Structure 1
Amino acid sequence: MSTPPRTSHHRSFELTLQSAKRTMVLSEIVRLAIDSFRTSKVRFALTALGMVIGSMSLILVVTIGLTGKVYILNLLRSIGTNMVDLEYAGGGSGAINNFQNDYLTHDDERAVEEQVPAVAYSSPMLEMHDRVSFGQGVVKEVLVLGVSPQYKMVRNLVVLSGRFFDEEDESTHTKAAVVTEAFARAMFGSMDSAVNKTFTLSGIPFTIVGVFKESVNTFGQSEIADQTILIPYSVARYFTGTDNVKDIFFSIRDEKDVEEAAKQIVAVVHARHQPSSVYKASTMTELLTDAALIADALTVVLILVTAVTLAVGGVGIMNIMLATVRSRIREIGIRKALGATAREIKLQFLIEAVFISLSGGLLGTLLGLALPVSVRLFTSYPLPISPWSVVIALVTSSLVGVVFGTLPANRAAQLDPVESLKYE
């Protein structure tokens, strides 16, 4: 007698039944895993400790990396990331034996201010060197820069004592000077003592109206040296006898517009000079980008080092799970004798490994976040917290559990039920 063909209703019922059975089996497997941990809490805690330390280290490493990155970028911004430094790089026209230099002029600065709306502040710069007597026979060579009052904003200078010379000083050609802290201490003993005192440059008396410093110590890598004197540009012109300037500094309103504004500045100035003249505009944008990339690279390296801790924790999980399989051979044999498949046995031990790893990763993540969150709550310093570090820590913990739990799970699934039942 032939078996009647199964209808679509029969097939649908069987699929539903199989799906329900799989769901029940999975929930039973999870329950068995939890029961296993309840019976050996100390072993579970010690096994998860490696993942706790690894995940916590990962969170803290990313936080430290981001903090360092923010600190470095803020230092560079203090120098003047909105600044464009325009200088004459060579070229010009004339006969072979009568070559002409095509230097920048104060009129170039005015033209740029009129034609480039992105410019907020600007200042020309004349550079001179002179020898100044510091008393008791001590004579030092100093750097004298002729700048406009806006130079303070362009270069983010900090006035430590007194004031910076203003537009009135510039227009009235006042013999005012703003000196560095090192100059004030060397000549008068302190910053406050230097204010309103006089000294001579090329036989002309100047009155110190203020003492300044750079926002960030550039260690002599900028145009400002230790012994630097700033005087009004209108006064510095009398020393040089020319309207030519060495550099023109511009401050751009928005940091995003710096590169485009630099191109416009060069175009405006180049249109006012000989076609063969070359003018170079330097910005901090490239330096900022490089600094950010270096900081990110260092953070990645530190994360990879932290991954070693996670791998060590994974090895610990694998060793414990292998020992667990060995101690539960009779249990595995009984389960197989009652109908459990190799897949179900494998899934049970794999879930146990992932559970240990993920629990340790979750606790480590919470402990790792506790430090920056506490600093944010109890201090005024906002430590940066990356949501991606949390995601990476939890995903990595899960993957460690899967990778290092596969071998013990496979070994448990491949055990022979007959031999397992006879195991003592």
Structure 2
Amino acid sequence: MPVAVRQKSFESTLRSAKTSLVFRETMHLALDSFRASKVRFLLTMLGMIIGSASIVLVVTVGMTGRQYALDTLSSIGPNMVEMQYNGGATVGADGASTPDYMTKEDEAAVLAQVPGIAQSSPMLEVHAPISIGEGKTRDVMLLGVSPRYKDVRNLGVLSGRFFDDQDTIAHEKVGMIVEPLAKTLFGSDDAAVGRVLNLSGIPITIVGVFKQRVDTFGQSEISDDTVLLPYPVARYMTGTDTVKEIFFTMKDPADVPRGAARILDLIQSRHRKGSKYTAFTMVAILDTMKKVADSLTYVLTAAAFITLVVSGVGIMNSMLANVTARYREIGIRKALGATRHEIRLQFLTEAVFLSLSGGVVGTLLGLALPVTVNLLTPVHIPMSGLSAVVALLTSVLVGVIFGTLPANRAAALDPVEMLKYE
């Protein structure tokens, strides 16, 4: 091997060994400094612990909120398109205005001309009083729907059964009663099945009790006083075949926006000009809930980052005080041959070690909550590994940024002056 090559290899090995020695010495000094001032460093780390844990928990809360929104809308029916009549009455020759409601023929036309529809149900609404004992009456809302309404609205049957196509064809006077009304009238779900309600002089036999799978907080057509009837029976009670709402479900959730637009165009084309209809879908609500969850996550994450910045200021103050307290040590090290770079690296390493230690503890605490909940309860809380990585990287960055000033100050000290300090 040529002499020049061997010399180069020797110099490279020497540099590597020196770098390794400097690194080990720097880490040893950082640990010694930590052991010498445990209480001060632990208090300084507290801000980093809180900030790092906050980042992980904020992201976890945001992900949990998003998942809850998805689960809620999935339970209501993510594929659903709800057509509503919103007004736009036409004035006739006699000066009277007539609402331009939708009809069963509109539903049939949509099913025939719009592809990708899985199921549909009209909804006819009428109110009627019922007796609740001791001469008291209560107004209930009757909804005339088809048997497909159960699947379209993803309803749960608690007792009995849902009326079927045979009931609808035969115009059977049967109905479904919502859970709160069943408990109010009969005390329990099972006690309601088989009982008869007198609605506008028509005896309706209750064949089942139902509920919505998720609480819609009063934002759906179903209330605590709802009774579902086969559409022909409700139509007989009202004397009209017009409907205010028609529900559709698409086979593919991706087709919902396009399908809703086509349904709206078709129904508007079948009615008078000026009549107003709306195609309501869960897509818009889902997008809004996602945006709200994301915005809340961003705001809370920014607050967590502010905590880290404040903690970084605390680290900088602590390190500046540490430099002042170790003037003589710095002077001795420089007198023994330590370079400015080595002194700077020593104090920068201490700052990063301090911030990263707080970041690791905070991140572990932030992850401990969702892990504990997932292990000990049936509730599933999503976790983000990315949030843990971001918290740790931010901790390192805070240590570098706020440790640079104390490190530069220590490196710039004059060893002759420093040796005078006791």
Q: Runs of at least 4 residues of structure 1 off by over 6 A?
A: 12-22
1:88-127, aligned counterparts within 5 Å? 88-91=85-88, 97=94, 101-127=99-125
Q: Does 1:63 align with 2:56?
A: no
1:31 aligned partner: 24
- Residue 247 of structure 1 aligns with an amino acid whose one-letter code is E
Q: Is the 8 A contact 1:29 1:348 kept in 2?
A: no
1:83-118 deviations in Å (ceiling 9; x for gaps): 211022344767654665432111211222222232
CA displacement at 1:409 relative to structure 2 = 0.8
| Aligned mate of 1:314, from 291, 312, 315 | 312
Cα RMSD after superposing both structures: 2.9
1:418 aligned partner: 416
CA displacement at 1:295 relative to structure 2 = 1.6
Counterpart Cα distance in 2 of 1:50 and 1:204: 70
Counterpart Cα distance in 1 of 2:403 and 2:10: 30
2:340 aligned partner: 342
- Structure 1, gaps ≥5 residues long: 1-8
Q: Is the 8 A contact 2:27 2:349 kept in 1?
A: no
1:265-300 deviations in Å (ceiling 9; x for gaps): 112223333454432111121121111221222222
Counterpart Cα distance in 1 of 2:217 and 2:292: 21
Structure 1 residues 319, 18: closer, same or farther in 2, change over 3 A? farther
Counterpart Cα distance in 2 of 1:294 and 1:217: 19
Secondary structure of the 1:134 match is strand
- Residue 51 of structure 1 aligns with an amino acid whose one-letter code is M
Q: Once the two structures are aligned, what percentage of the paired residues are identical? A: 55
- In the alignment of these two chains, the number of paired residues is 415
CA displacement at 1:64 relative to structure 2 = 2.7
Counterpart Cα distance in 2 of 1:18 and 1:154: 77
2:181 aligned partner: 183
1:393 aligned partner: 391
Higher alpha-carbon deviation: 18-27 or 37-46 = 18-27
Structure 1 residues 292, 185: closer, same or farther in 2, change over 3 A? same
CA displacement at 1:71 relative to structure 2 = 2.0
1:218-251 deviations in Å (ceiling 9; x for gaps): 3332212221111000111112222211110112
2:322 aligned partner: 324
1:6 aligned partner: none
Secondary structure of the 2:359 match is helix
Secondary structure of the 1:87 match is strand
Q: Is the 8 A contact 1:53 1:364 kept in 2?
A: yes
Structure 1 residues 30, 324: closer, same or farther in 2, change over 3 A? farther
2:160 aligned partner: 162
Counterpart Cα distance in 1 of 2:323 and 2:190: 78
Secondary structure of the 2:190 match is helix
CA displacement at 1:359 relative to structure 2 = 2.8
Counterpart Cα distance in 2 of 1:21 and 1:151: 81
CA displacement at 1:260 relative to structure 2 = 1.2
Counterpart Cα distance in 2 of 1:332 and 1:15: 34
Secondary structure of the 1:295 match is helix
CA displacement at 1:137 relative to structure 2 = 0.3
Q: Is the 8 A contact 1:347 1:409 kept in 2?
A: yes
2:382 aligned partner: 384
- Structure 2, gaps ≥5 residues long: none
Q: Is the 8 A contact 1:361 1:394 kept in 2?
A: yes
Q: Is the 8 A contact 1:55 1:361 kept in 2?
A: yes
Structure 1 residues 377, 415: closer, same or farther in 2, change over 3 A? same
Counterpart Cα distance in 2 of 1:119 and 1:339: 82
1:153-205 deviations in Å (ceiling 9; x for gaps): 11122222211111111111100011122322332232211110112122111
Q: Does 1:409 align with 2:402?
A: no
Structure 1 residues 16, 107: closer, same or farther in 2, change over 3 A? farther
CA displacement at 1:39 relative to structure 2 = 2.4
1:256 aligned partner: 254
Structure 1 residues 101, 372: closer, same or farther in 2, change over 3 A? closer
Query: TM-score, with normalisation over the residues of structure 1?
Result: 0.88
Higher alpha-carbon deviation: 391-400 or 318-327 = 318-327
1:327-378 deviations in Å (ceiling 9; x for gaps): 3323322333455443332232112211221233123323332332343344
1:9-28, aligned counterparts within 5 Å? 26-28=19-21
CA displacement at 1:381 relative to structure 2 = 2.8
CA displacement at 1:40 relative to structure 2 = 4.1
Higher alpha-carbon deviation: 348-357 or 45-54 = 45-54
1:366 aligned partner: 364
Query: TM-score, with normalisation over the residues of structure 2?
Result: 0.88
Secondary structure of the 1:222 match is coil
2:242 aligned partner: 244
- Residue 184 of structure 1 aligns with an amino acid whose one-letter code is A
Counterpart Cα distance in 1 of 2:91 and 2:11: 94
